[in-house]
Amino acid sequence: MNEQVNHKEVIKRDPLSGNGRNKTLLRFTTAGSVDDGKSTLIGRLLYDSKSIFEDQMEHIIEAGKRRGKQEVDLSLLTDGLKAEREQGITIDVAYRYFATPKRKFIIADTPGHIQYTRNMVTGASTADLAVILVDARNGVLEQTIRHSYIARLLDIRHIIFCVNKMDLVDYSEDVFNKVKAGLDKLIAKLDIDNPSIIPISAKNGDNVVDRSENMSWYTGKPFLSQLETVEIIKDKDLENQRFPVQYIIRPQSDKYHDYRGYAGRIAGGNFKPGDEIVVLPSMLKSKIKSIDILDKSFEESKIGDSVTITLDDDIDISRGDMIVGAGNMPNIGQEVKMIICWFNERPLRERSKYVIRHTTSEARCIIQSIDSKLNVNTLEEDYEDKSIHMNDVARISVKTTRSLYYDDYKVNNTTGSVVIIDEATNETVAAGMIQAE
């Protein structure tokens, strides 16, 4: 938090010149500990990409002065709550937005401290990419392992390791290579497919937006151009058709008297009129008649689209049912294994009952067994200690009151994820990634 920057040195570039062109959306999450310079890095991205308005800038200059700071503290840009500003820490996930001519970015900024593992899991659940900060002076620490493991657990396919504070080690290539060697081991151990390792100084802007003159030995891309150009391999299942039914549309108006549409967001594959489908749980077969959205019908719709589907046959379908392609059925069952991250102060207990939410369906469940506890700092699995407290990660088996139609989380993040809710308090107490056979 004590990273400061002279904002006059910041080189500006205009992100809006590509306004109106086709832009893709990249969602990423950032993890790092309190003093890794994460807020400074984000502040710099926002500032250098001109996503900070002049009045917001004036505001933090004023706020900094009130706290007796001489230089502009970019980290002040990202502290949202009064308590955070007072304590100089980040408590909760905050979302930030910026755009360059190539992409629009959504940052889920999560606190990296161990007691906030749950926030990192939350931020990672919607991210395509994770940025993990490593202090050049310290190299790989327990928290680096924890952050990388969680990113992998949530099936994030790209990780950018920013080796920060290079200015404090004289921009030394040797120091960087030592840190990199440690990261390479971790990358191999966690089987991370598309890693990049970038030496930066968030405080001074080296290799953040522009290539650093202080580290001419580094030949890779600066951080922002890596973010702009990385090919997003979303873990989206393009083959197996999955359509969880969200809501039934029955206008019952004169014009649309017999219209019966199934509203939802496509969770897997592409759907076209004429496709043969099966409805779960009834197992009844039909064909897709039309795919509608606001008085238009579409020839095709793809994963991620929110649409309304009509079928050739009148079938009794309600929310929580799933329309799937005939011939590529998901797993169907009441006994499910998963890895969970526990979020609540009250510990998880075997044999307790909870509410489970999966896609658009809800059931009750009982925790049949806690199978093991994972140490996210050492990656060891403990089969003896089964006390699961807030921020713990564990393998569990649950039994549900009705069948779930699910895929393995790594195959389909939507049909493979659940949240667990405490029936008494209605709090969301866990996130679960289903492990199918």
Partner 1 sequence: MGDKIKINSEHIKELENEAIYVMREVAAQFENPVLLFSGGKDSIVLVHLARKAFWPARIPFRLLHIDTGHNFEETLKFRDELARELDVELLVHYVQDSIDKGRVVEEKGVNASRNKLQTVTLLDAIEEIKADVAIGGGRRDEEKARAKERFFSHRDEFGQWDPKNQRPELWNIFNGRKLMGEHFRVFPISNWTELDVWQYIRYENIKLPGLYYTHKRQVFKRDGLWLAWAPFMELKPTEEVITTDVRCRTIGDITCTGVTLSKADNLEDIIAEIAATRSAERGSRHDDKRSEAAMEERKREGYF
Site for partner 1 in 167-226 (CB under 8 A): none
Minimum CB distance to partner 1 smaller for 223 or for 409: 409
Tell me, by CB under 8 A, how many residues bind partner 1.
76
Footprint of partner 1 on 277-296 (CB under 8 A)? 292-295
Query: Per residue, what are the HEC states of 380-392?
Result: CEECCCCCECCCC
Interface with partner 1, residue 435, by CB under 8 A: no
Given CA atoms 339, 405, 292, 257 in this order, what sign does their dihedral have? negative
Omega before 222 within 30 of 0, i.e. cis: no
Q: How many CA atoms lie within 13 A of 280 on its CB side?
A: 24
Q: Which stretch binds partner 1 (CB under 8 A): 132-140, 219-227, 299-307, 346-354?
A: 299-307
Measured distance CA(107)–CA(93) in Å, rounded: 10
DSSP-derived 3-state class of residue 350: coil
Minimum CB distance to partner 1 smaller for 189 or for 272: 272
Contact string 305-324 vs partner 1 (x = CB under 8 A): xx-x----------x-----
Return the DSSP state at 178: H
Taking CB under 8 A as the criterion, the residue among 189, 250, 272, 287 binding partner 1 is 250
Minimum CB distance to partner 1 smaller for 228 or for 305: 305
Minimum CB distance to partner 1 smaller for 168 or for 355: 355
Taking CB under 8 A as the criterion, the residue among 24, 229, 282, 387 binding partner 1 is 24
Interface with partner 1, residue 364, by CB under 8 A: no
Closest by CA position to 46, among listed 21, 9, 77, 72: 77
Closest by CA position to 301, among listed 356, 238, 210, 368: 238
Q: Which stretch binds partner 1 (CB under 8 A): 50-58, 132-140, 166-174, 211-219?
A: 50-58
Return the DSSP state at 114: G
Minimum CB distance to partner 1 smaller for 81 or for 233: 81
Contact string 323-352 vs partner 1 (x = CB under 8 A): --------------------x---------
CA distances from 131 to 123, 269, 342 (A): 11, 29, 23
Place of tokens 């900094």: 64
CA distances from 214 to 48, 207, 220 (A): 19, 9, 14
Contact string 94-133 vs partner 1 (x = CB under 8 A): xxxx-x---xx-x-----------xx-xx--xx-------
Least distance CB 17 / partner 1 (angstroms): 9
Least distance CB 67 / partner 1 (angstroms): 11
Least distance CB 209 / partner 1 (angstroms): 18
Taking CB under 8 A as the criterion, the residue among 16, 181, 188, 326 binding partner 1 is 16
Taking CB under 8 A as the criterion, the residue among 55, 231, 299, 437 binding partner 1 is 55
Q: Beta strand 322-325 with 276-280: parallel, antiparallel or unpaired? A: antiparallel
Least distance CB 37 / partner 1 (angstroms): 20
Least distance CB 86 / partner 1 (angstroms): 10
Structure tokens at 61: 């200059």
Structure tokens at 203: 């405080």
Taking CB under 8 A as the criterion, the residue among 189, 304, 326, 401 binding partner 1 is 304
Taking CB under 8 A as the criterion, the residue among 11, 82, 231, 437 binding partner 1 is 82
CA distances from 234 to 30, 125, 157, 247, 303 (A): 18, 12, 7, 26, 11
Interface with partner 1, residue 408, by CB under 8 A: no
Taking CB under 8 A as the criterion, the residue among 8, 11, 21, 258 binding partner 1 is 21
Q: How many CA atoms lie within 13 A of 221 on its CB side?
A: 12
Strands (DSSP E) found in 216-301: 242-244, 247-249, 261-265, 276-280, 284-293, 296-297
CA distances from 343 to 122, 167, 390 (A): 10, 37, 5
